[in-house]
Chain A
Amino acid sequence: MMMLEGTGVTMNFGGLVAVDHADFKVGQGEIVGLIGPNGAGKTTLFNLISGAQTPQEGTIRFKGEDITDLRPDQICRMGLARTFQTSKIFSEMTAFENVRLALIYGNPHRSFKFKEAEREVNQLMAQAGMLSDRNKAVKELSLASQRRLEIVRALATDAELLLLDEVMAGLTPSELTQSMELVMRLRDRGITVFMIEHVMQAIMEVCDRIIVFHFGQKIAEGPPDEVAGDPRVKAIYLGE
């Protein structure tokens, strides 16, 4: 059974077609990359999957269940979490509080209450190497740490599928390596990853499979080497 499956997904705004009858699949335990030029509809696709928007046509299934019309909080509690391109962590709270909130509301398997959540939160943050940062205000964290926090927050909801939206952008080379290692470690823990990325190094080294989007349509799909060698893909990037 596919972790995530979309058939004929279409989204248009007024006259503009953002996602055009897209079909896509993500299997359990895979790390799949989604690439394409700016405006290709990648983030819109993520919005449609996570429930932030509803497609006009098509179906999206998660773990076999139809999630096309569900709300984001429902989808989250089913085990599908995401991060955002423009960071949406709560900057008026500490890192700890951010994670705790996600743990309390997004995790349907927890059995403890708000005040008792401390141990769980610390555990989650330790796994991501952020234990020492946990009481810092979000504004004090570096960009890389903020990205990492957003991932931890998503994981706190007991996610089985994680949508990552350009988490590697703007990182230094060492931060990039750490980030890639984090993503691989996620897969080791059994989490499936679907990631939008522009940083080619990350895509080529981390992903098992890449989907290429252009003008809202899937134009190529396959393992990294195959896609990199595809003349159509080269054309759309060189034509920029």
Chain B
Amino acid sequence: MLISTLRAEKKERRALIYIVVTIVLLASAPSFISESLVITMITVLMYATLTLSWTMFSGPTRLVSLATAVLFGVGVYVSAVLRGSMPIELIVLIGGALAFILALAIGVLTLRLKGVYFILFTFGVTALVGNATLWWETHVTGTVGRHIEGASNSVVYLLMVIIFSLALLAAFILRNSAAGMALRGIGENQTAAEHIGIHVTRLKVLIFAGTAIFMGATGAVMATRWRYVDPSLAFDPLISFLPVVMAIFGGISRLYGPILGTIVLIVLREFLITEYPYVYLLIFGVTLIGVVLWLPGGLVEQAEKLIFRLKIEWIKLKMRWKRWRTA
């Protein structure tokens, strides 16, 4: 009777060890990798955090959020406005907090309605906030393009490692908690979830807003790397779209899926942008369609199928070896 709990606990403990090891490796990396690799890692960490945060909510609930760009962009603008007047750590926190509030508003507005409204609204909200910011920057403050005092690569890298690590831990905790299971129940059948006592709207709104914190914090950090922002850069729709592709491609059934997807696609993107800059969206699009149609579980499912098949081959090999020995 206790075996099932023990086995589950063992799996959890193993995952936690992997997570801790990953974090330690990431934190110590700058001491043994080149500067240019650190710069690439910053981009990887940015998208990995966004993808992971996106997956935390949209994965189990199956409610595709396209608000990532807006929540990220809010953080960017917090940095743009406050940079220089307070320490960067505080700015990052405020960026996360503001993104939380915006996500709360979006959630309260649309998560009480049928799922399609949420998807549609998050698609439009990027344009809404982007245009509103442009209007504000043009008519009120007159500062359409803003220059931001940069931060050194090592500072940016370190901050991103911290934010990513926190997001990873949050994702891990959520997955194995009652709330995580409740979200999956909501995603599978919201009516059933309601009828076993889950306050569906409240849970959805809270988790959605919670994941937004990481997005806003990431935006605040990345602004110091970009050093120049304007509404079209901060609220670039691609920042909403790419995490979706990365998560689906990597596979959302496992914790590491979105991260795997991010790494592969960022590497691919870096390669494509230098060699074939005019087709990288095309390849991403075809990849997404291919995955949706034929590989619904993403890389993770393919990797697990492969491992399973390898295990079977290994067992067959061992049996043949035994037979050869005893013959």
Contacts and interface: CB of A to CB of B under 8 A. Distances in A.
- Our verdict on whether A and B bind, yes or no, reads yes
Interface of A: 50-52, 71-73, 76-77, 81-82, 84, 88-93, 96-97, 100-102, 104-107, 114, 118, 122, 135, 153-154, 156-157
Interface stretch (B103-111, B141-149, B196-204): B196-204
Contact of A101 (B5, B185, B191): B185
Contacts of B5: 118
Most buried by A among B1, B4, B197, B198: B197
Contacts of A101: 178, 181-182, 185, 196, 198
Contact of B196 (A93, A122, A153): A153
Contacts of B4: 96, 135
28 contacts: A52-B191, A52-B194, A52-B195, A71-B194, A73-B196, A73-B198, A76-B196, A84-B195, A88-B192, A88-B195, A89-B192, A90-B184, A92-B188, A93-B181, A93-B185, A97-B181, A101-B178, A101-B182, A101-B185, A104-B178, A105-B178, A105-B182, A105-B196, A105-B197, A106-B196, A114-B177, A114-B178, A157-B196
B197 A157 contact: yes
A144 to B, nearest CB: 19
B189 A88 contact: yes
Contacts of B194: 51-52, 71-73, 76
Interface in B15-72: none
A106 B196 CA distance: 5
Main secondary structure, interface of B, reads helix
Interface in B196-248: 196-200
A71 B1 CA distance: 36
A93 B184 contact: yes
Interface of B: 1, 4-5, 177-178, 181-182, 184-185, 188-189, 191-192, 194-200
B273 to A, nearest CB: 38
B197 A92 contact: no
Given A93-B181, A105-B198, A156-B196, 18 more contacts: A51-B194, A71-B194, A73-B196, A81-B196, A82-B195, A88-B189, A90-B185, A90-B188, A90-B189, A90-B192, A101-B182, A101-B196, A104-B178, A105-B197, A106-B196, A114-B177, A114-B178, A154-B196
Nearest to A82: B195
B195 A81 contact: yes
A77 B188 CA distance: 21
A131 to B, nearest CB: 9
Contacts of A154: 196
Closest 10 CB pairs of A and B: A106-B197, A88-B192, A105-B197, A102-B196, A72-B194, A114-B178, A76-B197, A106-B196, A105-B198, A72-B195
Contacts of B1: 118, 122
A101 B200 CA distance: 13
B191 A88 contact: yes
Contacts of A82: 195
Nearest to A88: B192
A210 to B, nearest CB: 25
Contacts of B182: 101, 105
A107 B184 CA distance: 19
B182 to A, nearest CB: 6
Contacts of B200: 73
Contacts of A135: 4
A90 B181 CA distance: 10
B195 A73 contact: yes
A114 B9 CA distance: 13
Nearest to A150: B192
Contacts of A51: 194
Nearest to A115: B5
Contacts of A73: 194-200
Contact of B192 (A84, A107, A122, A156): A84
Contacts of A156: 196
Nearest to B196: A102
Contacts of A100: 181
B210 to A, nearest CB: 18
Contacts of A71: 194, 199
Contacts of B184: 90, 92-93
B301 to A, nearest CB: 14
A80 B189 CA distance: 19
Contacts of B192: 84, 88-90
Nearest to B3: A135
A91 B187 CA distance: 11
A71 B200 CA distance: 10
A122 to B, nearest CB: 7
The CB with the most chain A CB atoms within 10 A, among B181, B184, B188, B200, is that of: B181
**Of A71, A77, A101, A135, which is in contact with the most chain B CB atoms at under 10 Å from its CB?**
A101
B68 to A, nearest CB: 25
Residue of B177, B178, B184, B191 with most partner-chain A CB within 10 A: B178
Nearest to B187: A92
Contacts of A72: 191, 194-195
A69 B189 CA distance: 22
